[in-house]
Amino acid sequence: MPHDDAVPASRDSSRTVAAGLLAWVWPGLGHVYLRRRGKGLLLMGAILALFVLGVAMDSRLQLHLGLEDPLAFLFSLAQMGIGAPYFLARALGYQAGVVTSPSFEYGNTFTAVGGLLNILVILDALDVARGHKR
């Protein structure tokens, strides 16, 4: 039985693009936009909690753009996958991290996993917007 709140939009590319962008800007917002409020709020809470805990554990949010260290570049991309919370945390001065903190590596892992999970959430929002998923 089709989900009443999810209107198939395979032909409406602007709705698909909007859902994808909103999902990247703020975790779960793409699902809220697609009228899947429960799922969107649940994803938002879980992913943001993961990211905030990572930042609280002294994660480094340093941006690596060069290709001289490809793993650091990929790690930065993983962290940026969470969207606006990454840039907000950097703007608030949390980019340096504390390397000597016992929880530093856990924090790095939490922030990267939060970003990677949000990439999956973006893909899910795109599938819902295209009508491939109910």
Instruction: Give CA–CA dist 70/84, Å, rounded.
Output: 23
User: Is 66 within the bounds of a domain?
Assistant: yes
User: Is 22 within the bounds of a domain?
Assistant: yes
Instruction: Give CA–CA dist 22/16, Å, rounded.
Output: 10
pLDDT at 9 exceeding the cut of 60: no
User: Is 104 within the bounds of a domain?
Assistant: yes
Residue 8's pLDDT band (boundaries 50, 70, 90)? very low
In sequence order, what DSSP letters do the residues of 23-38 get, joined into one string? HHHSTTHHHHHTT-HH
User: Is 8 within the bounds of a domain?
Assistant: no
Residue 3's pLDDT band (boundaries 50, 70, 90)? low
Query: Coil, strand, or helix at residue 67?
Result: coil
pLDDT at 53: 96
Instruction: Give CA–CA dist 78/39, Å, rounded.
Output: 22
Q: What are 33-85's pLDDT values in tens digits?
A: 999 999 999 999 999 999 999 999 999 998 888 888 899 899 999 999 999 99
Interval 98-112 mean pLDDT: 91
Query: Token digits for 37?
Result: 């409020």
User: Is 5 within the bounds of a domain?
Assistant: no
User: Is 4 within the bounds of a domain?
Assistant: no
Give the pTM. 0.84
Domain that holds residue 34: 13-130
How many independent structural domains does the chain possess? 1
Q: What are 109-132's pLDDT values in tens digits?
A: 999 999 999 999 999 999 999 988
User: Is 70 within the bounds of a domain?
Assistant: yes
Long-range (24+ apart) CB contacts under 8 A made by 96-102 are 96/60, 96/62, 97/58, 97/59, 97/60, 97/61, 97/62, 98/58, 99/60, 101/57, 101/58
